[in-house]
Amino acid sequence: MIKGNQAKAGLPDEVAEQLRRMIMDSLIPSGEKLPTEGNLMQKFRVSRSTVREAIKILQTEHLVEIKRGKGTYVASNRGIGADPLGLRFTDQSQSDLIFNLMEARALIEPGIAYTAAKRRSKNQVLEMETLLNTMDEVHARGEDYSPYDCRFHALIAECTQNEVLSRLVPIINDSIIAAVVHTSHVSGSYQRGSKCHRLLLESIREGNPEAAKAAAEKHIRQSLMDWDDVVR
């Protein structure tokens, strides 16, 4: 409940702070839906406009995300903005930036895959398989499959059970999206990527760290080769 003697101008901030504490204390876990506007109005005894302003504050902090037609959810990667490295403000050309992102992945992801194969859970492996199957279906329909591609790589990082790595990989996922956009017309690009994904999945499923590392290295090499075909 918000105290009645607080200035109205501060009500959205006060509601946002209380929700922020609930989120950071995992009273509302990542990925969970927030209570409805009506429930929040009743809980804090404030107006609908105050609740909406509070949600906007949390949205700018990347603590929540609004899913159209579904409601407001706690962000999976709480507090991570769309461009935390400020890459959109670099002086590099787009092609150079994408290459640098891929190079960063080449240095980071094989080690992540290695650790993921040692620490993955059965449910994570099942989700990875579902993602790859869905990605094949979406690609077959000629639709954008990059969100599933990004989630697949993010999930591998989550398999490491290392919070830093889980938060790091989504930051460099821009290279995955850009690669999909620019290499989709390269003959056989999707099929090669899909094969590498399946190798990664099987290596992680079998708990084979060395094979998972090798599969990740092969995948990045193939992505770089496809990108080279685009920029040549």
Domain boundaries, the chain: 8-74, 87-231
The predicted structure's pLDDT at residue 12: 92
The predicted structure's pLDDT at residue 139: 92
Query: For 41-88, how does the pLDDT look when each residue is reduced to its tens digit (9 = 90+)?
Result: 999 999 999 999 999 988 887 789 888 888 999 987 676 665 666 666
Within 13 A of 226's CA, how many CA atoms are on the CB side?
A: 26
Cα torsion at 2, 7, 13, 18 (round to 10°)? -20
Phi-psi region of 81 (alpha: psi -120 to 50; beta: other; left: phi over 0): beta
Query: For 162-173, how does the pLDDT look when each residue is reduced to its tens digit (9 = 90+)?
Result: 989 988 887 777
The CATH classification of domain 8-74, taken from the options 1.10.10.10, 1.10.3470.10, 3.80.30.20, 3.20.20.100? 1.10.10.10
Instruction: Using pLDDT thresholds of 50, 70 and 90, give the confidence band for residue 179.
Output: low
Neighbours of 184 (CB within 10 A): 16
The predicted structure's pLDDT at residue 174: 61
* Mean pLDDT score across all residues of the chain: 86
Instruction: Using pLDDT thresholds of 50, 70 and 90, give the confidence band for residue 223.
Output: confident
The predicted structure's pLDDT at residue 141: 94
Query: For 29-40, how does the pLDDT look when each residue is reduced to its tens digit (9 = 90+)?
Result: 888 999 999 999
How far apart are the two ends of the chain, measured CA to CA in Å?
Answer: 62
Q: Is the pLDDT of residue 2 over 80?
A: no
State the Cα–Cα distance between residues 181 and 193, nearest whole angstrom: 14
Q: Is the pLDDT of residue 1 over 90?
A: no
The predicted structure's pLDDT at residue 178: 62
Q: Is the pLDDT of residue 9 over 60?
A: no
Query: For 103-122, how does the pLDDT look when each residue is reduced to its tens digit (9 = 90+)?
Result: 888 999 999 999 999 999 99
Of the two residues 6 and 201, the one the predictor is more confident about is 201
For domain 87-231, which architecture applies?
Answer: Up-down Bundle (1.20)
What does 31-99 look like in DSSP terms, one character per residue? TPBPPPHHHHHHHHT--HHHHHHHHHHHHHTTSEEEETTTEEEE-TTTT--S-TT-GGGSSS-HHHHHH
What percent of the chain stands above pLDDT 90?
51
β-pairing, 71-74 vs 64-67, is: antiparallel
Q: Is the pLDDT of residue 129 over 60?
A: yes
Give mean pLDDT, residues 185-191. 84
- Burial (CB count within 10 angstroms: exposed 0-12, middle 13-18, buried 19+), residue 122: exposed
User: Is 148 in contact with 177 (CB distance < 8 Å)?
Assistant: no
The predicted structure's pLDDT at residue 17: 93
